[in-house]
Structure 1
Amino acid sequence: MLDALARDLRRRDTHQPAVLGADRAGAARVLATRGDLADLADRYAAALHARGIGPGGTVGVAVRPGPRALAVMLAVHRLGARAAVLDPGAGPDVLRARLAVARPEVVLADATAQAVAGWARPLARRARLALPDLAELGPVATIGPRLPGCAPALDAGVRSVIPPRPMDGDGDAVIVFTSGTTSRPRAVVHTRASLAAGMAAVAGLVAPEAGRPVLGGTFFVLAPSLASGAPVALPARSPRVLARQLVRLAPQATYLTPPQLRAVLAQGGRFSGRVWTGSAPASAGLLGRVKERGAVQAWGVYALTELFPAAAVEHADKAAFTGEGDLVGAPLPGVVARTDSSGELLLSGPAARDRYLGEEPDPWVATGDRARLCDGRIVLAGRAKDMVLRQAENIYPGLYEPALHVPGVEVALLVGVPAGDGDERVVAVVEPVRGTDRAALRAALARPLERMGAARPDAVLLAEIPLSGRSRKPDRAATARLAARILAGHAEGGRAERGRVKGGRVKGDRAKGSRA
């Protein structure tokens, strides 16, 4: 698909918009035409070739999503090299460790990433971004406009260098880091074949139509949409502007994370066409609210860095599911799912990663999710590592959390709080939708809490759930710490708000710091 996209950008409708942004009123502005992308990719490929980058080489990439990042990926792909994706938000220690593992011959960074590493470090700290000093990154080249203190431009001094013909055949394509400590970073390696299979799966799932805009900022949205002839609009960062952008653009397909969807809904935003969400759990209630605001369909996508996408489910099917656990849908074509003896979900298929860097290839991806297969569909029962141990009983939060997403609940998590002697208290932390009536929410929660049986929580807290990471996922560890602080405050003098479940009722739900 990337090879076809690179050819089509040059041969077809070069003046047509390819990547769009939005002004403060939400109106579209062209960031790059198809011809612009082709020119950038050619320039970057020539400059990297001049630096000796070729098949088997590694290029570090610290460039914000957008036209330049996509052009870099096209250039690296053309040369048969692999791109190691570097996240400035990971912190300097983690990035040093990741660089030591990936060993890129050159790091391509835009001015923002370099500012984090040097001249604008105080501003970067406020944005929770951090890189090592530039000297620690090795050879660095600037992508896009240079600002004071930036490294030389990638194509500085490159004249009339013609890159080689696109590489044919398989090989490593991209390295993406996931969890892992500074002592042992975990790096997912996708080959050109698995990357192509993943993009083809997205194209088959979304089926973008040429000429009609798609809204989304990830590589797996940009490449398949542009290959289909559809321009892509990058989501505005401001929820207010994003809500306006959705109305002005009226995209045929929209891909936003659950936190982005919730932020747009809070702004009174409306949707059009089909809406897709992933990167964090999406409840049937959230998908239903998206459809109420105009979406023709609202889909939850189950995907991992190791296999994107794996399964998908539309709101109607998710809402109709009454069993325990979280229905994430049937495996997509080519994806094979099974569970091992411990109940962990294993996935395989053409889009699965080849291996973890430094390890042998393995066709099966261990997801870390407990699951069961129900009528050919995947039902998650929670992360194995999130298990709570109470009175020698294993409680898996993911099995019960979906039932807590009643009307008026934004996000709900079950977490464990240490209770001494290695035991834990089970605490439900519920974040209400803004403006929700507290009495109505208490009444709505009573029934699902009663049905939880032995997993019924010891306390129910109404509070804002912390988020983390670039995808703004609910942070379980931070939520557990928050719950512990609230409960400790209550024990010290009743200043915190706590909810206790007794006979299926929620009592004393006044929680310190709660926005509910």
Structure 2
Amino acid sequence: MLDALAHTLRSHPDRPAVLGTTRTGAVRTKATCGELADLADRYAAALHARGVPRGGTVGVAVRPGPRALAVMLAVHRLGLRAAVLDPAAGPDVLRARLALARPDVVLADATAQAVAGWARPLARRARLALPDLAELGPVATVGRRLPGCAPALDTGVGTAVLPRPVDEDGDAVIVFTSGTTSRPRAVVHTRSSLAAGMATVTGLVRPEPGRPVLGGTFFVLVPSLASGAPVALPARSPRVLARQLRRLAPQATYLTPPQLRAALAEEARFTGRVWTGSAPASADLLTRVKAAGADEAWGVYALTELFPAAAVEQADKAAFGGEGDLVGAPLPGVEAKTDATGELVLSGPAARDRYLGEDPAPWVGTGDRARFDADGRIVLEGRCKDMVLRRAENIYPGLYEPALHVPGVELAVLVGVPAGDGDERLVAVVQPRREADHGRVRAALAAPLERMGAARPDALLLADIPLSGRSSKPDRAATARLAAARTRDAARRTRGTVR
């Protein structure tokens, strides 16, 4: 896929590749195909001149955009692997991750580096922090260099010294996921698994040449560009995002559920097909997206270890009447089964090769409990570790949370709160939409709560649900702490509804 992208960029040098949007929603070209290809060649020549060995590791701390895409193309051409570094992870986490990945060089833009002088306020505003440069090893700045940044990557060495592109399998990218500062964990994708995942995305989204695609993930940007479709990164401001959608009228849009909810709150209108993933997407959310103009609204089930695994369109999800969360049939090439504990495990050409420092393994544990319906579709029943133990009964929140997404509800999770005797109390924490009437939300929740039978919550709390991570997923630990604090006094008085 990356080879196909390089060919497409050279074949149509004047075609817009990356589109930008001003705060007023005006569209501009940030980079043409030819400019993006030239930048990738300059980065490749510079890395080659630095002597980064084939198979070596390049740390990448560059914000999404043309430079990040060009870096990934350069790394691919030279047969290197990219270790994706999240500057928002904090110095301690980054130290541990860098110690595990051991990059030959780190490429970082100025914002990610902001560690000295007047750049410190910039880092605080952007919530970014990197360790001192000396701890990172060799660091080079890509893009504009600001005071306190590392020396610039020398892109003036000329592209005539570029070696032939590497055309064989090998490690392609390292993406850090779970783990701790003492034991970080990182997913390793090979060139072949990366290509298989992006080929699946291409078959799923079917981008058409010339029509823009809105999305911010590598798995969306590369297949779109390779198909001849210009790409645009979503605006951070929900209000600007709504304007961006109106001006671009994209053929396909990929946003996370929090981004979709924020855009809908600004009365955004959608066009073409809309895709969402990285966090649970309820049938209600997909229905609202279609009501706002989308031809189709899809929920994508994916992991860092295997992207994408399954997908479901709004009509099928809304029609599903069983317990649990329908996420769709496994996509072509994806094998799915449950193990002896009920955990969903996946395999296929797009599956990660291994975790860094560990042996390869063909099956990926998802951490999700699941079953298969009569049509072979995957139905999630909750996280394996999210189980609540109440009165010796195992309660899996994922079985019941979808039913709580009644009209007027933005998010809903079930969490366990210590009861003080080794048992847990089950609390439903529901976040109403901004304009929703709380009384009507409570009334609408009465029926689904009643249908939960023995799993009915001990308390209902209407509150904003804490989010975490780059994908802004519900933070269950923080939500449980919130529920404990808000219900502690009320629990002594009543086991009913908590205000």
Which 5+ residue runs of structure 2 have no aligned equivalent? none
* Structure 2 partner of 1:457: 457
**Aligned partners of 2:214 and 2:234 also within 8 Å:** yes
- 298-307 vs 121-130, which deviates more? 121-130
When the two structures are aligned, how many residues end up with a matched partner? 498
1:311 alignment partner AA: A
Within-5 A mapping of 1:271-290? 271-290=270-289
Deviations 1:399-429 (CA, angstroms, capped at 9, x unpaired): 1100000111000000011112321110000
**Aligned partners of 2:430 and 2:464 also within 8 Å:** yes
Distance of 1:121 and 1:447 partners within structure 2: 53
* Structure 2 partner of 1:514: none
Shift of 1:160: 5.5
SS at match of 1:420: coil
Distance of 2:248 and 2:490 partners within structure 1: 49
* Structure 2 partner of 1:330: 329
Deviations 1:172-216 (CA, angstroms, capped at 9, x unpaired): 000000010011111000000000000000000000000000000
Q: Does 1:183 align with 2:195?
A: no
The TM-score normalised by the length of structure 2 is: 0.97
Deviations 1:282-329 (CA, angstroms, capped at 9, x unpaired): 000000000000000000000000000000000000000010100000
SS at match of 2:419: strand
* Structure 2 partner of 1:169: 168
Shift of 1:157: 5.7
* Structure 2 partner of 1:4: 4
SS at match of 1:298: strand
* Structure 2 partner of 1:339: 338
SS at match of 1:316: helix
* Structure 2 partner of 1:82: 81
Distance of 2:103 and 2:18 partners within structure 1: 28
SS at match of 1:485: helix
Shift of 1:118: 6.7
The TM-score normalised by the length of structure 1 is: 0.94
* Structure 2 partner of 1:504: none
* Structure 2 partner of 1:138: 137
Shift of 1:117: 6.9
Within-5 A mapping of 1:228-247? 228-247=227-246
Distance of 1:478 and 1:130 partners within structure 2: 23
SS at match of 1:99: helix
Deviations 1:473-502 (CA, angstroms, capped at 9, x unpaired): 11111111111111125469x9xxxx954x
* Structure 1 partner of 2:213: 214
* Structure 2 partner of 1:302: 301
Distance of 1:459 and 1:231 partners within structure 2: 49
Query: Quick one: structure 1 residues 414 and 116, their matched pair in 2 at CA, closer, same or farther if it must change by over 3 Å?
Result: farther
SS at match of 1:125: helix
Q: Does 1:405 align with 2:419?
A: no
Query: Quick one: structure 1 residues 24 and 126, their matched pair in 2 at CA, closer, same or farther if it must change by over 3 Å?
Result: closer
2:440 alignment partner AA: A
**Aligned partners of 1:53 and 1:79 also within 8 Å:** no
SS at match of 1:270: coil
Deviations 1:334-362 (CA, angstroms, capped at 9, x unpaired): 00000001000000000000000111111
* Structure 1 partner of 2:380: 380
CA RMSD of aligned residues (A): 1.4
Distance of 2:40 and 2:306 partners within structure 1: 26
Deviations 1:123-169 (CA, angstroms, capped at 9, x unpaired): 42344322111111110001111111111111256346521111011
Q: Does 1:442 align with 2:442?
A: yes
* Structure 2 partner of 1:427: 427
Q: Percent same amino acid at aligned positions?
A: 82
Q: Does 1:488 align with 2:482?
A: no
2:288 alignment partner AA: R
* Structure 2 partner of 1:476: 476
**Aligned partners of 2:187 and 2:352 also within 8 Å:** yes
Distance of 1:112 and 1:351 partners within structure 2: 32
Query: Quick one: structure 1 residues 117 and 457, their matched pair in 2 at CA, closer, same or farther if it must change by over 3 Å?
Result: farther
1:94 alignment partner AA: V
- 121-130 vs 400-409, which deviates more? 121-130
Distance of 1:161 and 1:132 partners within structure 2: 36
